[in-house]
Amino acid sequence: MALLEIKHLSIVLPVGGSMRPIIEDLSLEMEQGQSVGLVGESGSGKTMTARAIMGLLPEGAQLTGEILLDGQSVLRMDRHQRRQMRVNDVAMIFQDSRAHINPVRTIGDFLMETMIINHGYSKRVARSRSINLLEEVGLPQPEQQLRRYPHELSGGMLQRVMIASTLHSGAKLLLADEPTTALDVSIQSEVMALISELQIEHNLAMVLVTHDLDLAVSICQNIAVLYAGTIMEMRTATDLYNDPLHPYSSALAKCRPSMDQRSDRLVTISGSPVSAFDAPKGCVFSDRCGHAVDTCETERPAYTQRTDGSVRCHRADDLRGDLVPSIRWT
């Protein structure tokens, strides 16, 4: 049995007095210890998918489909069961750690409070455990760090504290929502290397939300490419990058700058991304796709399971081999 199963998930949110679709017919599954990258432009539904798994959707959200964690329905959990799931089974690393750590309390308070309240640790045991966790995520002088306030730590150090907070519960699933967005480029690789190392060491399943296809390919075993609230293609990381089946996946890969070829302009995808409620009638990518035909504009393609992955494209077989990017992942 898969650790996480999402079956035909659709989410509708109240926006401007009307209900608008945000996620449409999204399905994926993953095993314990696996990593899946959710990749796509802004508005594609990546963060909303992660928040649906965590049970953190905005008030008024309407969901259909199913989310199963270890065979248990997340959508049918009551408030107490959902809270226990967040305490014991699922952990989340957010984009901006400063927005999720109380600025007037110490780092020690932040780490120890959950252990004392939710797990019944004594203060002494919780303090000792917190020191060990800070050591594990590579923070120097961990005892001193416990006495500091969030404003006294750099963004990279604070994100390490957030990562440490996800480890104490023994969670099975880690949701990492753009965990390096708020960090300097020089620190991003260190934080992602730490997350990847801990994910493997603790045998965590991980869902990584990111705009960066290169990052997802380097960290994750499988990639799901999202556009307008649905998965366009899901395959192993190297297969998707080196031999994409969907024009959108190929377009994302081709936006990667070349280190060998000089260019005056960066490669971009024509047009602007759309949300699920603004998507065209047929294929949601049809108005930006250079390979679209009449069928693409009038009929929504089915999400087709193949021996080497899944794809939502009328022309996947016709275009096989023609979408390969000039820069391949090795």
> What b-and-e string marks burial along 158-178, b requiring 16 or more CB atoms within 10 Å of the CB?
bbbbbbbbbbbbebbbbbbbb
Query: What strand order describes the sheet that includes 90-93?
Result: 90-93, 173-177, 205-210, 35-39, 222-227, 230-236, 309-311, 304-306
Comparing CA positions, the residue from 241, 246, 229 lying closest to residue 306 is 246
Residues ≥6 apart with Cβ < 8 Å to 145: 107, 134, 139, 153, 157, 161
Comparing CA positions, the residue from 232, 320, 209, 319 lying closest to residue 284 is 232
d(CA 239, CA 323): 12
Say whether 309 sits in a helix, a strand or coil.
strand
Indicate the burial class of 305 (C-beta count within 10 angstroms; 0-12, 13-18, 19 or more).
exposed
Q: Tokens representing 10?
A: 């659709």
pTM above 0.85, yes or no: yes
d(CA 56, CA 89): 15
d(CA 35, CA 176): 11
Give helix 155-167 / helix 185-201 axis angle, nearest 10°.
10
Low-confidence ranges of the chain (pLDDT < 50): none
Query: What strand order describes the sheet that includes 72-73?
Result: 18-30, 4-15, 62-69, 72-73
Indicate the burial class of 29 (C-beta count within 10 angstroms; 0-12, 13-18, 19 or more).
middle
pLDDT, position 82: 94
Indicate the burial class of 99 (C-beta count within 10 angstroms; 0-12, 13-18, 19 or more).
exposed
Length of the chain: 330
For 183, which DSSP code?
A: S
pLDDT, position 29: 94
Domain ranges of the chain: 4-89+171-319
d(CA 228, CA 26): 11
d(CA 73, CA 315): 35
Q: Hunting for tokens 């004392």 — which residue is that? A: 116
Q: What is the pLDDT of residues 141-179, one digit of tens each?
A: 999 999 999 999 999 999 999 999 998 888 999 999 999
pLDDT, position 47: 95
Arch. (CATH architecture) of 4-89+171-319: 3-Layer(aba) Sandwich (3.40)
pLDDT, position 328: 53
d(CA 30, CA 203): 13
Say whether 255 sits in a helix, a strand or coil.
coil
Q: Hunting for tokens 């798994």 — which residue is that? A: 53
Residues ≥6 apart with Cβ < 8 Å to 181: 95, 96
pLDDT, position 259: 63
- Bridge partners (DSSP) of residue 90 are 173
